[in-house]
Structure 1
């Protein structure tokens, strides 16, 4: 009796759920790896025909020859957009700001509501949704559909990357999202939001591992300041969690570490793909979400979670509408991210998203009455001061480098 109870508790725990998900994902990874190795060792590309299946296999395993396409694709990509008036650019940045705030503030509030609050239907029955992976699936399927539709109606650069390479950042993106949802069961939303602000250190470490990147001194200083502010906030928020067990707090910390590590790998791997293959952001979005849908579908079908989640949707209509709005906000938020970066660059985007994080913390504290001590407030101030300092120093460094480049050009 006790052994059976322990086994059930283990399966229902976050660790058991994670293990089961990984086993399900392996049913996609292992056959895929075997097939890719077979096609490469058999030199399939040398005997590939011109049929649809041959082109599909070649695109998945090898990609297309970037060198041959360089002249035709770069010629079209070098066409610069016409200069816009100041009024138009102000309208654009206001549009991006409002779009990002509306998408991700709504997404953040609904995310916490779905994972932490109870649902009640007209008959008075109460339920609590627990399947984080199903939320990842519905977010990714809608994002994939939007990206695929956009690609179908717009002209894009010729795609040259082997499609299977998207699977790595897709897997890390799924695991990052799973950890993000799962962490809400163990930590408050403000803690999770500030954990995102401390992602700089694992991202820098992962950048060194994957790309061998070098960083400026101010980047190290601001990373340390952000980490210190995050620590102060965690210490300040634990005062209000005296009733929480140590195992719950430890579980939350472990899941947050997993979230930051997977997220750091995702962004660095995507950066490497952008540098090597020069695909568009929407092509990246489509490829990553394609594999995310594949992984989550395989896992949910093998675990039988689809039927349970859909049954929960039918039982509690409010959950259906929350999930739909959550997915729309997630998908449109990705589109706003790509548009903001392509038009205004990463500096403006970071400032907008930093403001979003502050507003998200404020909204969560007001709506869900999360207490924050004086030490926590000081930690928040340190974190966002460091983020803005990092943005300012990056902007100044870029200006100095541009002046030096202009000076060297004039001497020549």
Structure 2
């Protein structure tokens, strides 16, 4: 029994934040049950299930009743929109490509350059500020005095709710003020991307309790590796040699960074077992979100309509879960006691909402390659800012690993853009030959 108890304490020591280990085993066990990330994760899932399961059953009921043909009354338009949609599909890629093509033919080079600078500045300002605030909120205390160490804000789900409700409001106003394509997708289909999106966001906030911000940024930059593995195993996809080469470079750079920091045992860069699990969850949920959204774009919709639909369900899920757990009032109480936290949470939401608008605008105007370059630079600047503001120590080997990762990312963007230009050139030459 003693051996079992020791093993249990060791497991808790691996899966709770390092700060709680200072108080010894009894305090550790208490903290682990009151602030255990895996329990909070399942509590959140249970809260979402109380909304998702009745909704699923209701959708199945309307479909079995063939409500689209037999239904009537005041609720018919609402049920039709939520469950059936208009089933009008189009290729989103064609709309996007035509938008980029029209912009490319703009004769004003100066206007194009200024617009690109505007997009780059907006993305950098939004997401660099968001990254700095995210680390401040999740890793630092509020209300610290000479006699009190202060307290940390612990509920990542409340921050997700704050971000989503402002994004929902901004997208709704945008759709109301600017004419959008006729919406045709069944509304319930947004809920799948919404669930995975809020879970990935929760993992992103929660991971900062167990790992450093530079480690999180590098882990997000290395998402290409599991995506390639899943594509190879599940979809039997084939990849070019440069894709394997850059994936190997990313893996080597991340390994150099993690091993060098683990050897130094610096508190701000130690990666725990929980941190690795949460990051894995982030990568899985985020990958599903992007793939599901790609499938939704087969319907005729704009990116802002996508933003509105996904954030609508995100608000419903997170608000319902917070109310069921009693965490909403607790978070509001914390906000009232610490006005600086309220300011930080509000700025986080503003940066997240407007950052999404800049993402959609940049991709529509300049394409995915330019957007990827801007965001890759943002990740590098985010690591630099985090080290300067919060004092993360990175060794020479770790810094070299960071450089290798971003070099590999730029090589991927360059190689992909060359491949696309080559394919477009061959298509145009083939069209000329046919003429």
TM-score by length of 2: 0.86
The correspondence for 1:180, drawn from 204, 207, 222, is 204
The correspondence for 2:167, drawn from 135, 143, 159, is 143
Query: Match of 1:401?
Result: 423
- Between the aligned partners of 2:196 and 2:386, the Cα distance in structure 1 is 27
Query: Match of 2:133?
Result: 110
Q: CA offset at residue 277 of structure 1? A: 1.0
- Between the aligned partners of 2:199 and 2:107, the Cα distance in structure 1 is 41
Q: CA offset at residue 221 of structure 1? A: 2.5
The correspondence for 2:265, drawn from 237, 241, 255, is 241
The correspondence for 1:198, drawn from 222, 225, 229, is 222
Change (3 A) 1:35 1:123: farther
Residues 27-176 of structure 1 mapped to structure 2, 5 A cutoff: 27-49=50-72, 51-66=73-88, 80=102, 83-120=106-143, 126-176=150-200
- Between the aligned partners of 1:123 and 1:313, the Cα distance in structure 2 is 21
Change (3 A) 1:141 1:243: closer
Change (3 A) 1:373 1:63: same
Query: Match of 1:338?
Result: 360
Q: CA offset at residue 213 of structure 1? A: 5.8
Query: Match of 1:24?
Result: 47
Q: CA offset at residue 271 of structure 1? A: 1.1
Query: Match of 1:356?
Result: 378
Change (3 A) 1:83 1:146: same
Change (3 A) 1:144 1:5: same
Q: CA offset at residue 206 of structure 1? A: 5.2
* Alpha-carbon contact 2:335-2:342 (below 8 Å) kept: yes
How many residue pairs get aligned? The number is 405
Query: Match of 1:314?
Result: 336
* Alpha-carbon contact 2:81-2:187 (below 8 Å) kept: yes
- Between the aligned partners of 1:336 and 1:213, the Cα distance in structure 2 is 31
* Alpha-carbon contact 2:253-2:401 (below 8 Å) kept: yes
* Alpha-carbon contact 2:87-2:299 (below 8 Å) kept: no
Query: Match of 2:369?
Result: 347
5+ residue gaps in structure 2? 1-24
5+ residue gaps in structure 1? none
Q: CA offset at residue 58 of structure 1? A: 1.1
